[in-house]
Amino acid sequence: MNARFASSRIARLQTQSQRPAYGRSESNGLTPLAAALAALCVLFVSFLAAANQTALPRIGAAPAFALTTHDNTQLSLASLRGKVVAVTFLFTTCQDTCPVLTAKLVNVERKLSASGERDVTFVAISVMPKHDTPQVLRKYGKAHGVDFSRWSFLTGDAAQIHKLAQQYGVFVRAKKTEDEVDHGFLTSLIDRDGIIRVQYMGTRFEPDEMLADLRALARE
């Protein structure tokens, strides 16, 4: 995906100026019954417009992957079909943004667990897989207090992962040092059918907004 977005959350396809101006009324000499029916029609159309406005769009099919987990087993996106999945990219030696992103996602996951929502899972793919072995990823997850029944940290071939990251719209570039890499931050929410429905840029998003989106997808 090559789209770039101005806000931290990408969910709406219509702008305010593009929405039809439902609800306007003028006196056209209608009988009371006709006016009442017209008013009901306006309310019904407005209801449909509001429902459409709150539904998350279907951005496109999520790029497939099959990688190695923190438990040294294989996990594919296809095997998660039927669940709502949050996919992000990071690396464990990152000292600033990655820990912030991880903490925010863990906070969202804990709120889901507290409310009994079990059909949402989190996937973090390392963009520095040479360093981030399964053992290193498990240690990173433990340090951040993740629930491994709901989290998968993935590693694999660097070229494959960097290509995958680009397919998700994430910029990745290796640096001269072996323990650093430049990369963008984009967390994709994928529905039960494997369709990306919304993406969050960076780390400045509102966790409760992501929580609401995940719950909405779980209810579908």
Q: Is residue 120 part of a domain?
A: yes
* Same domain? 125 vs 45: no
Are residue 157 and residue 193 in the same domain, yes or no?
yes
As a whole number, the mean pLDDT across the chain is 81
Beta partners for 195?
61
Residue 203 lies in a domain: yes
CA dihedral 171, 172, 173, 177 (to 10 degrees): 140
pLDDT of residue 8: 60
Mean pLDDT of 151-178: 89
Look at phi and psi of residue 42 and say left if phi exceeds 0, alpha if psi is from -120 to 50, else beta.
Answer: alpha
Query: Are 128 and 52 in a shared domain?
Result: no
Domain membership of residue 103 (yes or no) is yes
Rg of the chain on CA atoms, in Å: 21
Is 116 in the same domain as 215? yes
Please determine, for residue 10, whether its predicted confidence score (pLDDT) is greater than 60: no
Of the candidates 170, 169, 72, 68, the one whose C-alpha atom is nearest the C-alpha of residue 123 is 68
Judge if 97 and 52 occupy the same domain. Answer: no
Q: Are residues 116 and 138 in the same domain?
A: yes
> Residues 151, 206: one domain?
yes
In a domain, 35, yes or no: yes
Q: Is residue 36 part of a domain?
A: yes
Q: What is the pLDDT of residues 65-100, one digit of tens each?
A: 999 999 999 999 999 999 999 999 999 998 889 999
Say if residue 114 is in the same domain as residue 52.
no
User: Are 142 and 202 found together in one domain?
Assistant: yes
Domain ranges, residue 45: 29-56
Pairing, β 60-61 against β 120-126:
unpaired
| Distance set, CA 119 to CA 4, 148, 154, 163, 215 (Å) | 29, 14, 19, 28, 9
Specify the CATH number for the domain of residue 77.
3.40.30.10
Residues near 33 by Cβ (< 8 Å), separated by ≥ 6? none
Question: Using one digit for the tens of pLDDT, what is the confidence trace for 93-117?
Answer: 988 899 999 999 999 999 999 999 9
User: Closest by alpha carbon to 214, among 6, 136, 206?
Assistant: 206
**Alpha-helical segments (H) within the chain:** 32-54, 97-114, 134-143, 158-167, 207-219
pTM of the model: 0.76
Q: How far apart are CA 87 and CA 190, in angstroms?
A: 8
Domain count, the chain: 2
